């Protein structure tokens, strides 16, 4: 009988489920449902948590039907990180819309945190105080949603990231748990003691009883009830850490780069947390087989969203794939540079007041130049992060493993290699996030070994960098000059 794992990927724009054939080591079926976001005020981003849970159950059911004749051994979960859902422990009903990781409503509060407090926060959790992370979102709900405050007094309020909310709903309230990769993105979790931190809880007005239990990534998180069937949830990671695992970045110095709505570079640092001096974040990479592994992370808020803006906002593209053809139709950008600071800049700048910028426009500038500049900005952002990681770790990059939607763009991947000056390695299976959750679940269920995680990854193409370092270093210097103009 065929053995399968279902990987549930609860992303920002869609909920997807993948049926993974353990023996063949590949996805054999996938289901997807779009998830809507709302923007009630400038800088605010919300989602309907009930919609997330409903569509998760729907795509899981689709994969279960596709597995007819085989045996589903478990469900792995990966999810958009930092997004917060607060709900009633008795009913499972959310008290407000989910506040999405992109939401900037708490920027003013985070900017007001004194430098000495920010330093203490970073020392404990590895994060720089920013509206990006979960803690200030929970604080906002407690201060602005009366029902949340009432339930907190009664001991019935629960607050968690999307993974923990889904586990609660899928297990019908029998389990409320998260893993260290998601917990480490809340700004409430001490990555040294590997526990919720009482000082951080008090600082943000959060009580310990509100939060989920933190279990290793390969733990059994509960039994999901899907119709008449119950399936173990075993294997949970935040989306970027799942991609790190799916890309088999298990050794110190391994690097993966994910191109999604944002851009996320994770650099594996092994069993030791490295605290950045360059504006990067220290995070848990994964925790399995009794050990915890760490990573340096650089998060750029906008990457693929820049291409979406070209398509939906300016009408320059009919589809995202067209950006490659238009970029290759011109020899260069004609001196145009784009800074993707639609809602501020993330690592390594952390400037919430920065705004997007197009510079170098002349009468000869065409839409093709602007499209190419938007794609090139993604590669420059990655170089920002790589330079910081090499400085903080003392370990030079030798190659980067890429994944995510934009990794299909050959122009961008070649330009990325040229700008970084190192090879960019694209895998055959580019759904690294879903693969990471599937492999962690299979590992938890005893279906594969650690060596199988490494052998499951195969390269589809390696992009070799240009030897002309002077030219590409010069382009990067001009991009940095544009960034300085965009800073708030």
Domain boundaries, the chain: 3-238, 247-422+458-488
Residue in 261, 248, 235, 301 with CA at minimum distance from that of residue 404: 261
Tell which residue, 128, 126, 131, has the closest CA to residue 110.
Answer: 131
Mean pLDDT of 122-144: 93
Q: What per-residue confidence (pLDDT) applies to 228?
A: 85
**Lowest mean per-residue pLDDT among 33-47, 171-185, 205-219:** 33-47
Spatial separation of the C-alpha atoms in residues 216 and 236, rounded to whole Å = 8
* DSSP code string of 159-205: EEEHHHHHHHHHTTTS--EE-HHHHTTTT-EETTTTEE-HHHHHHHT
* Confidence at 305, pLDDT banded by 50, 70, 90: confident
Residue 266 has pLDDT above 80, yes or no: yes
Q: 193: how many CB neighbours lie within 10 A of its CB?
A: 9
Is-above-0.85 flag for pTM? yes
- For 218, other C-beta atoms within 10 Å of its C-beta total 23
Q: 3-238 and 247-422+458-488 share one CATH topology?
A: yes
145-170 burial code (b ≥16 CB/10 A, e <16): beebbebbeeebbbbbbbbbbbbbbb
Angle in degrees, CA 24, 27, 33, rounded to 5: 165
Query: What mean pLDDT is predicted for residues 438-457?
Result: 91
Q: Which two tokens stand for residue 48?
A: 């309907």
Asked if residues 307 and 406 have their Cβ atoms less than 8 Å apart, the reply is yes
CA dist 419 and 471 (Å) reads: 9
For residue 321, name the pLDDT band (cuts at 50, 70, 90): confident
Is the CA virtual torsion 448, 450, 455, 461 positive or negative? positive
- Which of 83-92, 231-240, 277-286, 421-430 is predicted least confidently? 277-286
What is the spatial distance between Cα 431 and Cα 112, in angstroms, rounded to a whole number?
A: 39
Alpha-carbon span 10 to 137, nearest angstrom = 19
pLDDT of residue 488: 77
Domain 3-238 is of which CATH architecture?
A: 2-Layer Sandwich (3.30)
- Whole-number pLDDT of residue 398: 87
CATH of domain 247-422+458-488: 3.30.420.40
* Cβ neighbours of residue 163 closer than 8 Å, sequence gap 6 or more: 10, 77, 78, 79, 178, 179, 182, 236, 238
The structure tokens listed for 269 are 């640092």
Q: Are 9 and 405 in contact (CB under 8 A)?
A: no
| DSSP conformation class of 310 | I
Model confidence pLDDT, tens digit, residues 242-257? 999 999 998 888 999 9
């Amino acid at each position: 009988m065929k053995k399968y794992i279902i990987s549930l990927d609860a992303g920002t724009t869609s909920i997807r489920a993948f049926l993974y054939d353990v023996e063949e080591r590949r996805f054999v079926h996938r289901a997807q449902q779009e998830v809507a976001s709302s923007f009630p005020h400038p800088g605010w981003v919300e989602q309907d948590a009930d919609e997330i849970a409903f569509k998760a159950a729907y795509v899981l059911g689709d994969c279960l039907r596709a597995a007819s004749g085989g045996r589903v051994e478990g469900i792995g979960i990966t999810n958009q990180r930092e997004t917060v859902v607060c709900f009633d422990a008795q009913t499972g009903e959310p008290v407000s819309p989910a506040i999405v990781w992109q939401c900037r409503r708490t920027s003013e509060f985070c900017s007001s945190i004194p430098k000495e407090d920010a330093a203490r926060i970073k020392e404990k959790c590895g994060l720089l105080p920013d509206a990006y992370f979960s803690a200030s979102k929970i604080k906002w709900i407690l201060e602005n949603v009366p029902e949340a405050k009432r339930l907190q007094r009664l001991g019935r309020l629960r607050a968690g990231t999307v993974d923990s909310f889904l586990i609660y709903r899928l297990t019908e309230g029998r389990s409320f748990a998260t893993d260290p990769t998601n917990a480490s993105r809340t700004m409430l979790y001490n990555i040294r003691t590997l526990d919720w931190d009482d000082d951080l809880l008090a600082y943000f007005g959060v009580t310990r009883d509100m939060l989920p239990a933190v279990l290793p990534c390969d733990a059994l998180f509960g039994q999901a009830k899907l119709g008449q069937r119950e399936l173990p949830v075993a294997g949970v990671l935040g989306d970027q850490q799942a991609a790190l695992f799916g890309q088999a970045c298990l050794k110190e110095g391994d690097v993966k780069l994910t191109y999604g709505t944002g851009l996320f570079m994770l650099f594996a640092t092994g069993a030791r947390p490295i605290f950045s001096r360059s504006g990067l974040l220290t995070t848990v990479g994964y925790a399995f087989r009794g050990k915890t592994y760490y990573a340096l992370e650089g998060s750029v808020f906008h990457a693929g969203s820049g291409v979406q803006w070209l398509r939906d906002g300016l009408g320059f593209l009919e589809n995202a794939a067209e950006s490659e053809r238009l970029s290759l139709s011109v020899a260069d950008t004609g001196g145009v540079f784009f800074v993707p600071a639609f809602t501020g800049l993330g690592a390594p700048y952390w400037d919430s007041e920065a705004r997007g910028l197009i510079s170098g426009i002349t009468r000869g500038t065409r839409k093709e130049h602007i499209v190419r500049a938007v794609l090139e900005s993604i590669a420059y952002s990655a170089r920002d992060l790589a330079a910081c990681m090499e400085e903080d770790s003392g370990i030079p990059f030798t190659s980067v493993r890429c994944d995510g939607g934009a990794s299909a763009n050959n122009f961008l991947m070649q330009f990325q290699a040229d700008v970084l000056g190192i090879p960019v390695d694209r895998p055959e299976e580019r759904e690294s996030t879903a693969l990471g959750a599937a492999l962690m679940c299979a590992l938890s269920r005893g279906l594969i070994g650690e060596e199988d995680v490494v052998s499951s990854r195969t390269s589809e193409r390696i992009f070799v960098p240009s030897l002309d370092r002077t030219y590409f270093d010069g382009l990067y210097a001009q991009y940095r000059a544009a960034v300085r103009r965009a800073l708030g």
